[in-house]
Amino acid sequence: MNFKVGDYRQSFTLVTEDMVTSFATISGDKNPIHLDSEYAKTTPFKERIAHGLLISGFISALIANEIPGEGSIYLKQNLEFKSPVKLNDVVTTKVTILSIEGSKYLLQTECFVKETLVIQGNALILKK
């Protein structure tokens, strides 16, 4: 597919208990803020939150599957975590093309819960 600057794609993902516990197992990140409701009550968030890198994985999926799609290779990604994502939140992930130079794409990457920006950043992708 031929993309142009300004093109974007979105996805919508429900964050589940299973996602969070599976990510904790796979990554080894067993911080109790993600897994222990009683501990989480003692934090500023007052309830469990999802791993930031789990949520950023939704960006990776959108890049690999949609824009620029198959054959995409990450060269660089920066992320700023703005707000927590809680279990049962629906995350809207948006990837927008900022520039295209040859086979390299500069993308704006964002995740939202409702209207709240929870992650923002940029990615540099090589499209084979």
Q: Is 101 helix (H, G, I), strand (E, B) or coil?
A: strand
pLDDT band at 1 (very low <50, low <70, confident <90, very high): confident
pLDDT band at 2 (very low <50, low <70, confident <90, very high): confident
Burial of 80 (0-12, 13-18, 19+ CB in 10 A): exposed
- pLDDT mean over 13-32: 98
Q: Where do the structural domains in the chain lie, given as residue ranges?
A: 8-127
Mean of the per-residue pLDDT values of the chain:
97
- Locate all alpha helices (DSSP H) within the chain, ordered by sequence: 17-27, 32-35, 37-40, 52-65
pLDDT band at 84 (very low <50, low <70, confident <90, very high): very high
pLDDT band at 25 (very low <50, low <70, confident <90, very high): very high
CATH superfamily of 8-127: Hotdog Thioesterase (3.10.129.10)
Q: Which tens digit of pLDDT belongs to each residue from 27-72?
A: 999 999 999 999 999 999 999 999 999 999 999 999 999 999 999 9
